[in-house]
């Protein structure tokens, strides 16, 4: 199971490390290995959230996620995206931007650093909306009950998530953005840039999330109808078939997954410049990490991990909320990637441990119930 799921990741790792050695020797090998670990640690929460969405999709769209999706993730976000940032911020053509990335790496890094406030605002708002919509939803299973129960009640207020997100964006624009960090230690006013980028992130979330939610609701209606037909089929002795998301519903959910992955990759791409400004090594290292995140997502789905460890999804969403706020803070202040990655790992680790304790408690309760039944029956 492990080899089948992670086989391509192992192969890409081997090819990527060999390419690094051929490109820049053993120093490049070490840089690519570090970048790979950085990407995996920063994106583990991404895998958990992706798994919660991917398990609703059928086998065809899961394959699309692993093939076309990985091309978008590796070449789009880890290679093309940094070049696009430079092209837009420096008002250069695509070819000139690529030439700059390969020939003048220091200037390329400076331009990406200067574009960071816009990137952080867009990605921060998109991720923040994911977190807010999650915690304001009334869920049957709650992890931090003392917090999630009152927030679920507040969530009944229409558009509360959007209002809170806009308030946080406004606060960020008039605090962090007025003294935004730029290359060389300089600070400039980026309030208007942060506001525009943040609103763009919010609009992107509402469009993509809204469309995926709409088609998901349509799918649920179809599931209800098919469930009735399956019950009839079961009564007649015919086998039941599970319904998985397909068609338009799966397409928009796939689109949602790609935008989500893009938002998660912002911190990894920006953080990579703390290690190297070589775009080739960056693409190799982050690409290897992205492959493992994809494979881990599929592994979680096929193993049913989210169904067994029910608080994992909660921990991942809290990690998303933390990452969103960190991205907004980094508009002005530099935060080490170790801190960003550690927060996500700690939150997911805590939710995993809580899930284990819950499972043990449920097993013990069932065991006690069985003992009582045996005693009462005189066994």
Element (H, E) at 187: strand 187-188
Angle at CA of residue 109, ends 106 and 114, nearest 5°: 130
Residue 58 has phi, psi (to 5 degrees) of -80, 175
DSSP conformation class of 32 = H
Q: pLDDT tens per residue, the chain (379 residues)?
A: 677 778 878 888 899 999 999 988 888 898 888 888 767 766 666 777 778 777 777 778 777 877 787 777 767 777 777 777 777 766 778 788 888 877 887 887 788 788 888 888 988 898 899 899 989 988 888 999 999 999 999 988 888 999 999 999 999 999 999 988 887 778 889 999 999 999 998 998 888 777 766 766 665 666 676 667 666 666 666 554 444 555 666 777 777 777 777 766 666 666 666 567 677 888 888 888 888 887 888 888 878 777 788 898 898 889 888 888 988 998 998 887 678 778 877 888 899 999 999 999 988 888 776 666 655 554 4
* CA atoms of 303 and 230, how far apart (whole Å): 25
Please state the domain extents for the chain: 2-368
Strands (E) located in the chain: 180-181, 187-188
Which sign does the torsion angle of CA 280, 339, 209, 296 carry?
positive
How far, rounded to the nearest angstrom, does the alpha carbon of residue 302 sit from its chain's CA centroid?
19
Place of tokens 């609103």: 199
**pTM value?**
0.74
């Amino acid at each position: 199971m492990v080899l089948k799921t992670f086989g391509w990741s192992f192969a890409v790792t081997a090819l990527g490390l060999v390419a690094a050695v051929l490109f820049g020797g053993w120093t490049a090998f070490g840089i690519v290995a570090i970048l790979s670990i950085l990407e995996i640690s920063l994106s583990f929460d991404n895998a958990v959230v992706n798994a919660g969405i991917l398990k609703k999709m059928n086998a065809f769209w899961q394959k699309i996620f692993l093939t076309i999706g990985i091309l978008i993730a590796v070449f789009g976000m880890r290679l093309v995206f940094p070049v696009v940032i430079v092209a837009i911020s420096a008002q250069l053509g695509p070819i000139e931007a690529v030439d700059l990335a390969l020939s003048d790496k220091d200037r390329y890094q400076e331009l990406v650093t200067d574009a960071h406030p816009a990137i952080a605002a867009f990605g921060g708002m998109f991720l923040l909306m994911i977190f807010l919509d999650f915690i304001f939803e009334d869920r049957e299973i709650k992890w931090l009950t003392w917090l999630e129960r009152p927030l679920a009640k507040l969530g009944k207020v229409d558009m509360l998530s959007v209002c809170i997100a806009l308030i946080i964006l406004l606060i960020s624009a008039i605090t962090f953005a007025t003294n935004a960090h730029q290359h060389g230690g300089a600070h400039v006013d980026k309030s208007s840039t942060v506001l525009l980028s943040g609103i763009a992130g919010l609009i992107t979330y509402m469009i993509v999330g809204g469309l995926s939610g709409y088609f998901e609701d349509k799918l649920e209606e179809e599931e209800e109808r098919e469930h009735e037909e399956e019950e009839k089929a079961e009564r007649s002795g015919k086998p039941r078939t599970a319904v998985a998301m397909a068609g338009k519903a799966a397409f928009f959910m796939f689109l949602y997954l790609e935008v989500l992955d893009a938002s998660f990759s912002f911190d990894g791409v920006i953080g990579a410049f703390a290690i190297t400004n070589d775009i080739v090594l960056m693409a190799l290292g982050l690409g290897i990490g992205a492959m493992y995140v994809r494979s881990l997502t599929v592994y979680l789905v096929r193993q049913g991990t989210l169904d067994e460890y029910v608080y994992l999804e909660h921990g991942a969403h809290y990690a998303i909320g933390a990452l969103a706020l960190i991205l907004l803070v980094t508009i002005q202040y530099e935060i080490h990637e170790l801190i960003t990655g550690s927060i996500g790992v700690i939150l997911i680790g805590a939710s995993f441990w809580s899930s284990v304790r819950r499972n043990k408690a449920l097993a013990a309760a069932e065991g006690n119930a069985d003992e009582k039944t045996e005693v009462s029956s005189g066994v």
